């Protein structure tokens, strides 16, 4: 049972892992399509799975968008669920086109910002994207993709991007951020409202305890929870 931790900070959203489904229910969390979410009163991000499609060099076509919309329609009425647009990294025009298409069926669809350059923040592009999405989408949630960003090298620029987004949107999330305890704290210092990653369980699968205390480390399930608790414990309560 982990209910005694239910009131702790939930800045770090654990990305879904099927073996950890039941033990993560007390946390805000992320499910990447086509994973079926477990719904309760926590904040739940339904990710489009576009990143995995991009990594696999597969296109987001009309069939994929149609199946994603069908998936989202089951949950879009829930206030604590955030349905993410199917975005195309480094192609803002295509991402905007898909977002417009999906908004016809999912009015509260949440957009995604992408930095088009490697090793340097393109503030002009980020500003352009924020302006376009603010005119189209609900102001409840926007995400920034962590593609090739370095929280230490790019901290001031990332912080500026987050603040620009927060001028238009109530919740700013960073995808794929926070693989170490120090990184999670640094990302929070940008002013972002939340991050997610698979780091809590990939470290556990390698036997790594993020708090450095291996005396209580047991198997994959226990160590994953231990890491998840540590990552959220580090963040001040919102």
Which tens digits make up the pLDDT trace of 175-221? 999 888 889 999 999 999 999 999 999 999 999 999 899 887 789 99
Which tens digits make up the pLDDT trace of 10-50? 899 999 999 999 999 999 999 999 999 999 999 999 999 98
Query: What is the pLDDT at residue 188?
Result: 94
The pTM score is 0.93
- In the sheet where 29-32 sits, what is the strand order? 29-32, 44-47, 81-83
The domain of 206 spans 3-233
How many CB atoms within 10 Å of residue 111? 25
- The CA dihedral of 198, 173, 191, 139, to the nearest 10 degrees, is -170
- Burial (CB < 10 A; 0-12, 13-18, 19+), residue 188, is buried
β-bridge partners, 83 = 46
Residue 106 maps to a domain: yes
Which tens digits make up the pLDDT trace of 124-155? 999 999 999 999 999 999 999 987 789 999 99
- Tally the domains of the chain: 1
Q: How far apart are CA 113 and CA 56, in angstroms?
A: 20
Residue 147 maps to a domain: yes
Residue 214 maps to a domain: yes
Residue 238 maps to a domain: no
CATH code of 156's domain? 3.20.20.105
Residue 191 maps to a domain: yes
Q: How far apart are CA 179 and CA 159, in angstroms?
A: 18
């Amino acid at each position: 049972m982990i209910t005694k931790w239910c009131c702790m900070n939930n800045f770090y959203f654990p990305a879904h892992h099927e073996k950890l489904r039941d033990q993560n229910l007390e946390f805000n969390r992320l499910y990447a399509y086509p994973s079926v979410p477990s719904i309760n009163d926590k904040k739940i991000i339904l990710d489009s799975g576009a990143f995995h499609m991009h990594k696999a060099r597969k296109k987001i076509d009309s069939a994929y968008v149609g199946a994603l919309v069908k998936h989202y329609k089951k949950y879009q009425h829930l206030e604590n669920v955030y349905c993410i647009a199917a975005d195309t990294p480094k192609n803002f025009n295509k991402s905007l086109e898909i977002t417009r298409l999906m908004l016809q069926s999912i009015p509260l669809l949440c957009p995604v910002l992408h930095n088009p350059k490697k090793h340097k923040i393109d503030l002009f592009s980020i500003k352009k994207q924020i302006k376009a999405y603010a005119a189209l989408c609900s102001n409840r949630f926007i995400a920034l993709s962590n593609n090739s960003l370095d929280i230490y090298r790019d901290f001031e620029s990332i912080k500026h991007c987050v603040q620009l987004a927060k001028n238009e949107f109530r919740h700013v999330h960073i995808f794929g951020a926070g693989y170490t305890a120090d990184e999670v704290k640094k990302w929070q210092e940008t002013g972002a409202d939340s991050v997610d990653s698979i780091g809590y369980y990939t470290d556990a699968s390698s036997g790594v305890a993020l708090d450095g205390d291996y005396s209580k480390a047991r198997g994959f399930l226990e160590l994953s929870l231990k890491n998840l608790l540590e990552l959220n414990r580090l963040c001040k309560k919102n």
